[in-house]
Amino acid sequence: MTSSFDADDFFARSMFSLSLAELDEDQRWSTWPETAHTLDRGPQPFPDWVVQHDGAIDTELGILKTGKEADAFLIDRALPAEQLTGAPGEASLLVAKRYRDPDQVTFHRSSAYAEGRRGADSREARAMKKGTAFGKQVAAGQWARTEFEVLGRLWEAGLPVPYPVQIVGTELLMEFIGTDDEHGAVAAPRLQETSPDPATAERWARLMREAVLDLARLGLVHGDLSPYNVLADSRLAEPDPVIIDVPQVVDLIANPHGTEFLRRDFRTMCTWLRSQGASPAAVDPEEWVAAAWRGWETR
């Protein structure tokens, strides 16, 4: 016998209509249900803090940083306050990395230019721009997808990277590295913004070396490794490095400049760590390069 009244369903529906009226301008329904395809979600099993409820709301708390190709926003994904019980998976902070989609801006402009004004050189150029914008939109989606997939691969391999939660179009959602207490949410600092004591610099040198050797064992080079693209995980009493910003990773073997990228990454990282007091032996870029190749060959 099936009941004609499903209390859970009724409750869910009334919550839905109740909350619907309450969405503010900086809110949207959680886009998790849109990522129905497993390839659009992070590696499984999902960490317990990942919010999977259909009725969760994404609230944009602010912008973390604007960049050339992407902007990073802080997102609170949570059930409505009255449904929170304190269990994991009801609320979490996320970073939305949104790759620029120039199409949204340029498309309307291009259409306007096209109206009854075809032919002149400048208009031809504008029309071309429309194509370019479209091309860039596709490219933006590919950058986001690449970053999402690389983060998943590295996370599964145990590297210190943010967990990639999901991808929808040009927007990648990942684990927020930072703290959230009575003072509000504070993103972890980039290494560049920190002044570690020599002992910490030495520890970071060892951890960064391990991480990049792990990367090399996977046949990958970060390609843009610097103290700007490594965060000091402020959730820990002794912050460990967390590597971010990976859309440009380079294939160590297939890329003819693989070793050059490797060397450049290592030099940048080692130079900074050295300036913070790490010992020369711990941050010798040539030693890192040799170890990376050994690691690859004996993987």
**Tokens matching residue 231:** 């965060």
Classify burial at 129, counting beta carbons within 10 Å of its beta carbon; exposed 0-12, middle 13-18, buried 19 or more. middle
Tokens of 152: 């998943």
Does 88 bind ligand ATP (CB under 6 A)? Our answer is: no
Q: Could you tell me the two tokens for 160?
A: 């210190």
Q: Which is nearer to ligand ATP, 127 or 185 (CB)?
A: 185
Q: Which two tokens stand for residue 265?
A: 């990454």
Contact with ligand ATP (CB under 6 A) among 13, 65, 117, 299? 65
Does 160 help bind ligand ATP (rule: CB under 6 A)?
no
Please, which residues bridge with residue 164 across strands?
A: 174
Q: Can 245 be counted among the known catalytic residues?
A: yes
167 touches ligand ATP by CB under 6 A: no
Q: Of 249 and 282, which CB lies nearer to ligand ATP in the complex structure?
A: 249
Q: Is position 70 an interface residue for ligand ATP (rule: CB under 6 A)?
A: yes
Q: Is 174 in the site for ligand ATP (CB under 6 A)?
A: yes
Q: How far apart are the first and last CA of the chain?
A: 58
- Whether a cis peptide bond, with omega within 30° of 0, leads into 45 is yes
Per rule CB under 6 A, is residue 118 in the interface with ligand ATP? no
Q: How far apart are CA 40 and CA 37, in angstroms?
A: 6
The entry of ligand ATP, Mg ion, none that residue 37 binds, CB within 5 to 8 Å by partner kind: none
Q: Is 233 left (phi over 0), alpha (psi -120 to 50) or beta?
A: beta
235 binds ligand ATP (CB under 6 A): no
Site for Mg ion in 230-289 (CB under 5 A): 245
Q: Two tokens at 142?
A: 């590919």
Catalytic residue (one of 103, 233, 245, 265)? 245
**Catalytic position from the list 180, 224, 240, 284:** 224
Please report whether residue 42 would count as binding ligand ATP according to CB under 6 A: no
Q: How far is CA 120 from CA 10, 128, 129, 131, in A?
A: 61, 12, 14, 17
Tell whether residue 64 is a contact of ligand ATP (CB under 6 A): yes
Could you identify the residue written with the tokens 């145990």?
A: 158
Please state the closest distance from residue 108 (CB atom) to ligand ATP, in A.
25
Active site residues: 224, 245
Given the rule CB under 5 A, which residues bind Mg ion? 229, 245
Binding site for ligand ATP (CB under 6 A): 64-65, 67-70, 72, 95, 97, 162, 174-178, 187-188, 190, 228-229, 231, 244-245
